[in-house]
Structure 1
Amino acid sequence: MSTTTEAVGSTGELRGNWQAGVLGGVAGALVMGGLVLAMSPPVLAVAIPSLYGLAPPPNPGVGMVVHVSHGAVLGVVFAAIVGAAGIEGATRQVGLGVAWGVVTWIGLAALVMPVWLSVVGSPASPPFPNFAPPSLLWHAVYGAVLGGVYAATADRL
C-alpha cells in the first residue's frame, strides 16, 4: 500500500532573494562605513565595536567587520520585505532600500544603539534618543546601495 501526501495551498516560500540581500547589505555597509570613516571615525572605531565589548581601544577594522555583518543581516531582512510585499522594479527596490535605511536609522541607530552602548558602559555612548543627521545620511546611502545591488542581482543569483 502506498500513500502520497501533497501540500495544498501556500508553500511558505518567500519570493525575496536572500543572497541578493546579503550582497546588497554588504555593499551598502561598506559604502556607509567609508562615509562614517570620512565623517566621524570614532563611530566605527569605538561605538560599533563597543556593542560587543571589542573596544576600547579604538579599532576601526573590527568596527567595519561588525558593521558589515549587521549590514548583511539587515540585507536579508530587506530581501524578505521585498519578497513579502512583491516589490518589483529597480526604482521601487531602491526606493524601498532608502526607506529601509531610514527605518534602521530610527529603530537601531537612534533608539537601540544608545541604550545598548549605555548598558555595556561604552565611552562612546550617545544621548538617548540619538537622531543625528549625519547618521540619517549614512543609513539612507546604505539603503540606496542595498536596493540598487539587490535590484541588479536578484534575478542573477
Structure 2
Amino acid sequence: MSTESDTATAFGISSQRGWPIGGALGGAIGAAAFGLLMWLFDPEVLTAAIPSIYGFEPVGVVGWGIHILHGIVLGIVFGFLVTRELILGAVTMNPETDVLSQTSIRLRIVAAGFVFGLAIWAILPLIVLPVWLETIGTAAGGEFPAIAVESLLGHLLFGTVLGIVFAISIDLSDRSPDGPFSG
C-alpha cells in the first residue's frame, strides 16, 4: 500500500467508531483504573496534588475530572500514534519468530498500550512534571510520587487498559484479500 490512508483502511482503522473515539474511550477507562489504584495508595494525589498543578483548590471531584481528562487526551494521542503508518506497520508486521507470528493484532495493540503507558510514565511525571512545577512555582511537586512503584504500576495499568479498550472498540482486522490477518 502506498499511503498511510490505504494502510489504515486495510486494517480497519477507519471503522465507524474510529480511532479517536476508541482512543478517548480507552483513555477514560484507563485513567479511571489508574485513578482507583492511586486512590488505594495515596488519595491525596487525586484530591489535592492534581488540582494544585493547575492552580485549583482541592474541591470535590476536580482532581478526578482532571485525571480523566488527561486520560482522554493521552488516549487520543495513542490512537493517533498507533494508526500512523510507521507504528501500524510495526504492529501488523509478520515477524520471523513463531511465537510472535501467532500473536493476534489485538494482543499486539494491547502490548503497544503497555509500552505507551511506560513511555508516558518516563516522560510526563519524570521529565515534564518537574519542569512544569518549577515553571509555575508551586510546591505540589513533593506530593507526587513520580518515581514511586505506584506511579509506574498506575501508568502501566493505564496503558494496558487503554490498549485493551482500543483493540476492542475498533475493527483491527485486515480487510485486504491477501493480508496477513485475513480469514
TM-score bin (small chain): 0.7 to 0.9
In structure 2, runs of 5+ residues without a counterpart are 14-18, 93-104, 173-183
- Out of 20, 23, 26, which is 1:21 matched to? 23
Structure 1 residue 23: deviation in Å? Answer: 0.4
- Out of 39, 42, 46, which is 1:40 matched to? 42
Contact 1:114 1:127 in 2 (8 A): no
SS across alignment from 2:61: helix
Aligned length: 146
Give the 3 Å change call, closer, same or farther, for CA 148–121 of structure 1 in structure 2: same
Structure 1 residue 132: deviation in Å? Answer: 1.9
Residue correspondence of structure 1 range 71-150 to structure 2 within 5 A = 71-84=71-84, 85-86=87-88, 87-88=91-92, 89-126=105-142, 130-150=146-166
TM-score for the superposition, normalised by structure 1: 0.82
Contact 2:45 2:144 in 1 (8 A): no
Contact 1:97 1:146 in 2 (8 A): yes
Bigger mean CA deviation after superposition, 120-129 or 142-151? 120-129
In structure 1, runs of 5+ residues without a counterpart are 1-8
TM-score for the superposition, normalised by structure 2: 0.71
CA distance in 1, matches of 2:3, 2:67: 36
Q: Identity of aligned pairs, percent? A: 38
**CA RMSD, Structure 1 to Structure 2 (Å):** 2.5
CA distance in 2, matches of 1:35, 1:44: 10
Contact 1:41 1:60 in 2 (8 A): no
CA distance in 1, matches of 2:54, 2:137: 11
